[in-house]
Amino acid sequence: MGWRCPRLPALLLLLLVYTAATSAFTVCSYNVQRFNTEKATSSRVIHTLTRVLSRCDVALLQHVVDPDGKAVALLLKSLNRYDDFHYDSVSSQSLGTSSKDMQKYVFIYRTQTVNVTAQYQYQGKQFVRPPFVIQVQSNKTAIKSFVLVPLHSDPDQAVKEINSLYDVFLDVSKKWNNKNVMFLGDFHASCAYVTKTTRKTIRLYKNSSFSWLIGDKVDTTVSDDTNCAYDRIVVHGEPFLKTIKPFSAKVLDIGKEFRLTRTKVMELSDHHPLRVELKSSAPFLRATPPWLLLSVCVILRSFLFPL
C-alpha cells in the first residue's frame, strides 16, 4: 500500500522529494600552481583554497610542491577546522624529470562520503609526471565505484601525454576490472599545445566511448591574456556518463563566487578549479521508509495548515 499525506499540497511535497533526491556527489580538479609550504602558511591563500575544497567530496590537486608533506598537512588542518566533514588525503611521490620541478598529485576527500579502495602509480615513460591513479567507492553515488586518473601534462608533450591516457585506461580498467574511469587535470589541451589538427591524433578524442565534459571553448584560465581550455574532465562509457548530473561540469570562478579581485585569485593559481557532480544513489522515495515520509508530511502540515 502506498503512503498518503492528507492536505499537503502535491507541489510542496514534490519539491521536498526533489531536494532530497538531488543531493549530488562533487568531484573537483585544481591546478594550484606550485602549492608549497609558503602558500600554505599564507592565511589568505589557505582560506580561499579551503573554501574551494569544502565544496568537493573528492578533489584532485596538481602542481603540489611538498616533498615533506607539510603543506598538505596545513591544508587538511584548515579544512578540518573549517567544515563539519572530516578530510583526509592520499598522494603520489614527487614526480618529474627535473629536480627543480618535482610535483605531487594529491587527492583530498571527505572520509564520510569517500572510501579510497585502491591506489596505483602508473609507470609509463611517456609521461613527465605519470598518473597516480585511485579507485574510490561511495554509497552516496549511483555509480558506487569508479577510477580517477589525474594528469598534469608537460606543455610541450601535451598531445603525446593525453594520447597515452588511453594506455592508462587499458591498464587500470583491467587491473581493477572497472571501466568507470574519469580523467581529470591540467592537460594543456588547448591553444598552441593541442590544436584542431593534432587533436585528431588523440585516442581519447577519436574514440566515442570517451566524453569530454569540459568543452574546447571553455576558458579555464584566470588571466585576461589567455582564453584556453587547458583543464579537462573526461569520462569513459555510457554507464558513467549517465550518472553525471547534466550540465554540472563547469569552471568555478572563485573571483566572482567569493568576490575576490583577480590579484587575490592569482595568488593561489592562474587556473580556475573545475567541478562536476555525480547523481545521488537511491531515489529518495525508494530509499526512505514510508513511515518516515508520512511523519515529515504530518509535521509540515501542522506548520503550514494549523488547526
Q: What is the pLDDT of residues 47-71, one digit of tens each?
A: 999 999 999 999 999 999 999 999 9
Tens of pLDDT, residue by residue over 239-292, are 999 999 999 999 999 999 999 999 999 999 999 999 999 999 855 433 444 444
pTM attached to this predicted model:
0.86
pLDDT at 261: 96
Backbone angles phi, psi at 237, to 5 degrees: 85, 150
Of 48, 108, 83, nearest to 255 by C-alpha is: 48
pLDDT at 7: 52
Treating both helix axes as pointing N-terminal to C-terminal, what angle do 10-21 and 290-304 enclose, rounded to 10 degrees? 130
Tens of pLDDT, residue by residue over 87-103, are 999 999 999 999 989 99
User: Residue 83 — pLDDT band, cuts 50, 70, 90?
Assistant: confident
Tens of pLDDT, residue by residue over 134-185, are 999 999 999 989 999 999 999 999 999 999 999 999 999 999 999 999 999 9
Tens of pLDDT, residue by residue over 19-53, are 444 468 999 999 999 999 999 999 999 999 999 99
Q: And the C-alpha cell for 263?
A: 590579484
- Residue 36's Cβ-count burial label (10 Å; 0-12, 13-18, 19+) is middle
Q: And the C-alpha cell for 187?
A: 592537460
Give the distance between the most distant pair of CA atoms in the chain: 75
- Residue 264's Cβ-count burial label (10 Å; 0-12, 13-18, 19+) is middle
Query: What single DSSP character describes residue 221?
Result: B
Tens of pLDDT, residue by residue over 100-134, are 899 999 999 999 999 999 999 999 899 999 999 99
Tally DSSP H helices, then E strands, for the chain. Answer: 12, 12
For residue 59, the one-letter residue type is: A
Q: Is 122:174 a contact under the CB 8 Å cutoff? A: no
Q: Is 118:30 a contact under the CB 8 Å cutoff? A: no
The 3 state secondary structure assigned to the chain is: CCCCCCCCCHHHHHHHHHHHHCCCEEEEEEEEEEECHHHHCCHHHHHHHHHHHCCCCEEEEEEECCCCCHHHHHHHHHHHHHCCCCEEEEECCCECCCCCCCEEEEEEEECCCCEEEEEEECCCCCCCCCCEEEEEECCCECCCEEEEEECCCCHHHHHHHHHHHHHHHHHHHHHHCCCCEEEEEECCCCCCCCCHHHHCCCHHHHCCCEEECCCCCCCCECCCCCCCCCEEEEEECHHHHHCECCCCCEECCHHHHHCCCHHHHHHHCCECCEEEEECECCCHHHHCCHHHHHHHHHHHHHHHCCC
